[in-house]
Amino acid sequence: MNGKTVLITGASRGIGAQSARVFAEAGANVVLLARSGDAISALAAEIGNTALAIACDVADFEAMAAAVATTVDRFGGLDVLINNAGVIDPISHLASADPAAWAMTIDINVKGVFYGMRAAVPVMKAAGGGTVLTVSSGAAHYPIEAWSAYCTSKAGAAMLTASLDLEERENGIRALGLSPGTVATKMQRDIKASGINPVSQLDWSEHIPAEWPARTLLWMCGRDADDYVGQEVSLRDEAILRRVGLIT
């Protein structure tokens, strides 16, 4: 990744923060986006001069477009976009869910992914290509009790990946999704606290560390992952875990 520039949304913690570290260690410039400016500023300071923190709400297209412009001004281009920002609230049965909270999940998890793509892809196309990685979920493909907003939003994000691949593969855009399974992050603590559905009953030891999806996202930028362009890479697949080097 030497000389490449990677923009990561939701970079203040969890998969996003660990991805910033992994990509920086691989030689990339990393641009960290999150609503929490203090958290990403601290992470950028930890990484050093190859990191740039931009406080940004992914649900605001103008803010996303400005973040991409700032990235290009600072590092000269944009090679990889990682759509990682996402929320799971409201964890609530559909008939009693708060409409405003439900809509906010769509704003972040669906519109935020589209806005990232819309801002980044023209820049990538003009430079001859790029990679767009979107963190998906098994919840994109089947319903889970009390997760109607999350399941619906992840299904929408998965379709955005497929749509981008259909429209832009011939223009050098590599669009892929990552379904990481359950990861030991704050989101899983919120799920655990809800006590609703089987996912909340999982023992903490069953969740994978955030480093695994971060390393997989790095692998997805390489040619070994070309077979999966336009599709989702699943960390429930042992063959993928071996190809990434997470297990032997």
Query: Catalytic residue numbers?
Result: 150
d(CA 13, CA 200): 20
| Contact in structure between 59 and 32 (CB atoms under 8 Å) | no
Please give the Cα distance from 126 to 103 (Å, whole number).
34
Entry field: residues in the chain = 248
Residue at 201: amino acid letter: Q
Contact 27, 15 (CB under 8 A): no
DSSP state string for 162-198: HHHHHHHGGGTEEEEEEE--SBSSHHHHHHHHH--TG
Report how far apart the first and last C-alpha atoms of the chain are (Å, whole number). 24
Task: Give the residue from 173, 83, 181, 185 showing the smallest Cα distance to 141.
Answer: 181
Contact 157, 113 (CB under 8 A): yes
> Residue 54 in contact with residue 20, Cβ under 8 Å?
no
How many CB atoms lie under 10 A from the CB of residue 99? 8
